């Protein structure tokens, strides 16, 4: 059974947040939510690594001797997590990782945790969303533009080696196959989770494959929006159309505010809600339990293997125009 950090509440009440890159839309939404809800008697700082692991390492090292009770880390490189945990554990500082899951051997001690989504499930839900749109009569549907009975797919992948990118990428295609669709993956392009790289990736993909593309699986909303930016600029996608009238279908993951706007406008077919609020609440609950030395016997979230808090959603996780009105803002 997990045990709280003995005497943590007596050490002072200071926590530090470390984010990999503040320009990431999903991470910025999480950070805004969490920092607005830190208890008033707890001091905190936020450090942005600008997507540099060496910068983040130095930021953490600089604070280790400053009396902080807890570090909340969105790591730049999940492979660097073990050395950070070893250093923090030596100094008695608990660590909560979020969004970027460390390797298993990094989560050591009683007070090292990871909070994040079930990324495999998110990829599966992307496929289920598409399958419902295409329907069982795909061979006869307008979505099968070349009438070959297969879905021609391009994938915008978040980042090589990132656990969420790998799981979403693998499971969106495998689940679509399980649902009875023939698939033809034309190409997979890494676009580093961001809108600008999504634009560049879509430019390359559309230049190569053009109207052969029938479906775009994007690992997140920002890359999908970058693809849409390119397609709008080239006149391939048009404002004012319904999503079914666009040349092909694009789906994302996250449910960011800008992603929801694109769904409303008929540009993005749908997204899988990554729900930054639920994940943030799980992190904040861990913060509360650790800072206040509470027993984890009544912790309200399931903890897997003493360290992992995986957030999975059952209701309201697939978002399209059809259910936009029930999305909580």
Q: What is the pLDDT of residues 161-207, one digit of tens each?
A: 788 889 999 999 999 999 999 999 999 999 999 999 999 999 999 99
Buried b (16+ CB within 10 A) or exposed e, 211-220: eebbbbbbbb
Q: DSSP code of 4? A: P
3-class DSSP state of 45: strand
* Distance from C-alpha of 129 to C-alpha of 132, rounded to nearest angstrom: 5
Report residue 259's pLDDT band, with 50, 70 and 90 as the boundaries.
Answer: very high
Q: Are 318 and 125 in contact (CB under 8 A)?
A: yes
Are both 258 and 170 inside the same structural domain?
A: yes
Are both 174 and 211 inside the same structural domain?
A: yes
* Distance from C-alpha of 260 to C-alpha of 327, rounded to nearest angstrom: 9
State residue 3's pLDDT score. Answer: 35
Decide if 77 is inside a domain: yes
Decide if 2 is inside a domain: no
3-class DSSP state of 217: strand
pLDDT in tens, 12-48: 589 999 999 999 999 999 999 999 999 999 999 999 9
pLDDT in tens, 271-305: 999 888 999 999 999 999 999 999 999 999 999 99
Are both 99 and 170 inside the same structural domain?
A: no
Q: What is the CATH number of the domain that holds 308?
A: 3.40.50.2300
| Residue 127: pLDDT over 90 | yes
Are both 269 and 287 inside the same structural domain?
A: no
Residue 27, domain extent: 8-117+276-312
| Residue 327: pLDDT over 50 | no
Q: Pick the closest to residue 75 from 104, 89, 95 (CA basis).
A: 95
Cα dihedral 271, 273, 276, 282, rounded to 10, equals: -160
* Distance from C-alpha of 276 to C-alpha of 29, rounded to nearest angstrom: 7
Decide if 1 is inside a domain: no
Decide if 3 is inside a domain: no
pLDDT in tens, 64-93: 989 999 999 999 988 888 888 988 988 999
pLDDT above 90 as % of the chain:
71
Decide if 83 is inside a domain: yes
Are both 80 and 205 inside the same structural domain?
A: no
Cβ-Cβ contacts under 8 Å for 126 (sequence gap 6 or more): 168, 172, 175, 217, 251, 253, 272
Cβ-Cβ contacts under 8 Å for 29 (sequence gap 6 or more): 256, 257, 276
Are both 65 and 167 inside the same structural domain?
A: no
Decide if 263 is inside a domain: yes
Which DSSP helix (H) or strand (E) runs through 48? Answer: strand 43-48
Are both 212 and 239 inside the same structural domain?
A: yes
> Bridge-partner residues for 230, per DSSP?
none
pTM of the shown model: 0.83
* Distance from C-alpha of 154 to C-alpha of 319, rounded to nearest angstrom: 21
Are both 78 and 131 inside the same structural domain?
A: no
Are both 214 and 237 inside the same structural domain?
A: yes
Are both 251 and 175 inside the same structural domain?
A: yes
Are both 280 and 247 inside the same structural domain?
A: no
* Number of independent structural domains in the chain: 2
Report residue 143's pLDDT band, with 50, 70 and 90 as the boundaries.
Answer: confident
Are both 280 and 248 inside the same structural domain?
A: no
């Amino acid at each position: 059974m997990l045990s709280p950090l003995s005497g943590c509440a007596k050490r002072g009440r200071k926590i530090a947040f470390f984010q990999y890159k503040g320009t990431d839309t999903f991470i910025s939404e999480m950070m805004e939510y969490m920092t607005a809800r830190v208890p008033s008697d707890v001091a905190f700082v936020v450090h942005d690594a600008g997507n540099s692991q060496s910068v983040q390492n130095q930021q953490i090292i600089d604070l280790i001797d400053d009396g902080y009770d807890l570090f909340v880390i969105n790591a730049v490189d999940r492979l660097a997590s073990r050395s950070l945990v070893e250093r923090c554990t030596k100094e008695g500082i608990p660590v909560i990782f979020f969004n970027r899951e460390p390797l298993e051997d990094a989560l050591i001690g009683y007070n090292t945790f990871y909070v994040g989504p079930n990324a495999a499930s998110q990829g599966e839900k992307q496929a289920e969303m598409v399958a419902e749109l295409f329907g069982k009569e795909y061979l006869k549907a307008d979505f099968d533009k070349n009438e070959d009975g297969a879905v021609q797919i391009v994938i915008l992948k978040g980042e090589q080696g990132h656990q969420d990118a790998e799981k979403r990428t693998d499971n969106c295609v495998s689940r679509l196959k399980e649902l009875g669709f023939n698939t033809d993956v034309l190409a997979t392009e890494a676009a580093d989770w961001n809108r600008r790289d999504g634009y560049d990736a879509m430019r390359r993909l559309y230049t190569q494959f053009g109207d052969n593309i029938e479906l775009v699986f994007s690992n997140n909303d920002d890359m999908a929006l970058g693809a849409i930016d390119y397609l709008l600029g080239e006149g391939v996608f048009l404002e004012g159309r319904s999503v079914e009238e666009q040349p092909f279908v694009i789906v994302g993951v996250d449910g960011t505010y800008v992603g929801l706007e694109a769904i409303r406008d008929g540009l993005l077919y749908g997204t899988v809600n990554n729900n930054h609020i639920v994940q943030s609440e799980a992190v904040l609950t861990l913060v509360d339990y650790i800072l206040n030395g509470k027993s984890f016997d009544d912790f309200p979230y399931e903890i897997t293997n003493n360290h992992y808090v995986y957030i999975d959603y059952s209701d309201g996780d697939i978002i399209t125009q059809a259910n936009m009105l029930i999305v909580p803002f």
